[in-house]
């Protein structure tokens, strides 16, 4: 298949009877004033009638600006990334940029390969949703001077900018919600310790509990998946006999908790209340509908893209950190403790 070749500067120049450089200037809003008004008009008219679009590839070659941004996701199939991506694409589009999306997985060496590939495409910057706490990919980009913004997760060393949810605050409102319902024996299923979200939420949980003079048991999940939530949930419930509530580090882990409860013949929320994190699609539909901490993923993506664009424009920018406010969404998986007591938790526990 052969594309109909689009118009070039040269053709317009020939038709207008001027040099290509004049055409180039006439069509660049920043340089239009260098060109006589009548010529500019004529050229603009011609360009319009020929449906001229500058060849972005040629422009990129000359100027080094590709107007492409690489986006690395750890797992496209994870529903939280869809709105992030959507927000990124939206924000980039306003400046004529477009994202190249890569489903890079969690494996560092594969990620390197993908980053190399993106660099070959001459992306101007990277948005990473993949970082672990000490990320080599980030180090690599910093070394090469490639602008990077982290989204959703962040690094501990603040080498680059990031846009994240306030993880500690998220845990605080979750714990406050539970205590206000009378819960005191609250456990936590933490995310992997090599992710900022895993660590910060765990710390946030501990701090929030401390504010109420409480201390709750914690079990760590290996990864943020439903399956990986099952084992730690079992362990948690078995160890802490008097537990009345569990806060999970994200919704998928919360689903794992529900699986564990089911397995152990415990009811949610009658025996144990459960709180998730993210408010991903469909968690309002499960049984019981999940009480969770909502994160504005779309806004997060938008902000991350905006930040990156800003950094592309600036010569040098201090890395900044944007923290979004989470919001508690109360649904059916949490319930007042009074009810728990009368609902006869002990019997069902043997």
Q: Within positions 62 to 91, which residues make up the interface with DNA, using CB under 7 A?
A: 62-63
d(CA 241, CA 282): 31
Which of residues 192 and 256 has its CB atom nearest to a copy of itself in the complex? 256
SS3 259: helix
* Residue 341 interface partner, choices DNA, a copy of itself, none, CB cut-off 5-8 Å depending on type: none
SS3 150: strand
Contact stretch for DNA (CB under 7 A) within 25-33, 175-183, 246-254, 304-312: 25-33
d(CA 215, CA 217): 7
Q: With contact defined as beta carbons under 8 Å apart, do 114 and 100 qualify? A: no
- The reply to whether 9 sits near DNA by the rule CB under 7 A is yes
Which of residues 69 and 131 has its CB atom nearest to a copy of itself in the complex? 69
Residues 2-39, buried b or exposed e (16+ Cβ, 10 A)? eeeeebbbebbbebbebeeebbbbbbeeeeeeebeeeb
Residue reference for tokens 């998946």: 225
If one counts every other C-beta atom within 10 angstroms of the C-beta of residue 242, the result is 9
Pick the binder of DNA from 5, 77, 318, 350 (CB under 7 A): 5
H or E element at residue 128 = strand 125-128
* Residue 34 interface partner, choices a copy of itself, DNA, none, CB cut-off 5-8 Å depending on type: DNA
Interaxial angle between packed helices 9-16 and 37-49, expressed in degrees from 0 to 180 and rounded to the nearest 10: 130
* Residue 14 interface partner, choices DNA, a copy of itself, none, CB cut-off 5-8 Å depending on type: none
Pick the binder of DNA from 41, 49, 61, 341 (CB under 7 A): 61
- The reply to whether 4 sits near DNA by the rule CB under 7 A is no
Residues that bind a copy of itself (CB under 8 A): 1-4, 6, 53-58, 60-61, 64, 66-68, 76-79, 81-83, 85-86, 89-90, 93, 96, 98-103, 116-122, 143-147, 255, 258, 281-283, 285-287, 311-312, 314-317
* Residue 103 interface partner, choices DNA, a copy of itself, none, CB cut-off 5-8 Å depending on type: a copy of itself
Q: With contact defined as beta carbons under 8 Å apart, do 328 and 294 qualify? A: yes
DSSP 162-215: EEEE-HHHHHHHHHHHHHHTT---EEEEE--TTSHHHHHHHHHHHHHHHHTT--
- The reply to whether 217 sits near DNA by the rule CB under 7 A is no
Contact stretch for DNA (CB under 7 A) within 28-36, 71-79, 82-90, 231-239: 28-36
Q: Within positions 31 to 60, which residues make up the interface with DNA, using CB under 7 A?
A: 31, 33-40, 52, 54-55, 58-59
- The reply to whether 24 sits near DNA by the rule CB under 7 A is yes
* Residue 10 interface partner, choices a copy of itself, DNA, none, CB cut-off 5-8 Å depending on type: DNA
Q: Within positions 242 to 301, which residues make up the interface with DNA, using CB under 7 A?
A: none
- In the complex, what is the shortest distance from the CB of residue 292 to a copy of itself, in angstroms, rounded to a whole number? 13
d(CA 154, CA 197): 8
Contact stretch for DNA (CB under 7 A) within 24-32, 165-173, 258-266, 284-292: 24-32
Classify residue 170 by burial, with Cβ atoms within 10 Å: 0-12, 13-18, 19+.
buried
Which of residues 28 and 325 has its CB atom nearest to DNA in the complex? 28
Which of residues 34 and 113 has its CB atom nearest to a copy of itself in the complex? 113
Q: With contact defined as beta carbons under 8 Å apart, do 235 and 265 qualify? A: no
CA distances from 191 to 147, 197, 223, 233 (A): 28, 7, 6, 12
- In the complex, what is the shortest distance from the CB of residue 54 to a copy of itself, in angstroms, rounded to a whole number? 7
- The reply to whether 18 sits near DNA by the rule CB under 7 A is yes
Radius of gyration of the chain (CA): 26
Question: Given the rule CB under 7 A, which residues bind DNA?
Answer: 5, 8-10, 17-22, 24-25, 27-28, 31, 33-40, 52, 54-55, 58-59, 61-63
């Amino acid at each position: 298949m052969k594309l109909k070749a689009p118009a070039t500067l040269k053709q317009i120049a020939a038709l207008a009877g001027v040099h290509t450089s004049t055409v180039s200037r006439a069509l660049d809003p920043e340089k239009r004033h260098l060109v006589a008004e009548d010529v500019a008009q004529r050229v603009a008219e011609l360009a319009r009638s020929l449906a001229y679009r500058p060849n972005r590839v040629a422009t990129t070659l000359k100027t080094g600006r590709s107007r492409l941004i690489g986006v690395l996701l750890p797992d496209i199939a994870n529903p939280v990334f869809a709105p992030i991506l959507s927000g990124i694409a939206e924000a980039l589009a306003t400046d004529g940029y477009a994202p190249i999306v890569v489903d890079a997985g969690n494996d560092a060496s594969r990620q390197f390969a993908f980053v190399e590939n993106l660099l070959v495409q001459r992306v101007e910057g990277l948005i990473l949703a993949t970082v672990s706490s000490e990320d080599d990919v980030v180090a690599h980009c910093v070394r090469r001077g490639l602008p990077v913004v982290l989204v959703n997760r962040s690094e501990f060393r603040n080498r680059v900018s990031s846009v994240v949810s306030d993880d500690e605050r998220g845990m605080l409102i979750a714990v406050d919600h539970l205590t206000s319902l009378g819960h005191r024996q609250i456990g936590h299923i933490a995310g992997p310790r090599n992710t900022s979200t895993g660590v910060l939420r765990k710390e946030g949980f501990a701090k929030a509990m401390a504010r109420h003079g409480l201390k709750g048991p914690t079990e760590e999940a290996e990864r943020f998946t439903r399956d990986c939530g099952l084992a730690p949930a079992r362990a948690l419930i078995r160890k802490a006999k008097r537990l009345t509530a569990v806060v999970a580090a994200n919704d998928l882990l919360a689903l794992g908790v529900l699986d564990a409860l089911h397995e152990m013949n415990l009811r949610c929320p009658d025996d144990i209340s459960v709180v998730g994190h993210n408010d991903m699609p469909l968690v309002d539909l499960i049984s019981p509908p999940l009480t969770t901490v909502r994160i504005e993923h779309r806004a997060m993506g938008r902000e991350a893209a905006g930040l990156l664009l800003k950094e592309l424009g600036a010569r040098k920018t201090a890395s900044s950190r944007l923290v979004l406010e989470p919001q508690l969404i109360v649904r059916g998986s949490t319930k007042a403790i009074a009810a728990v007591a009368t609902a006869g938790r002990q019997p069902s526990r043997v």
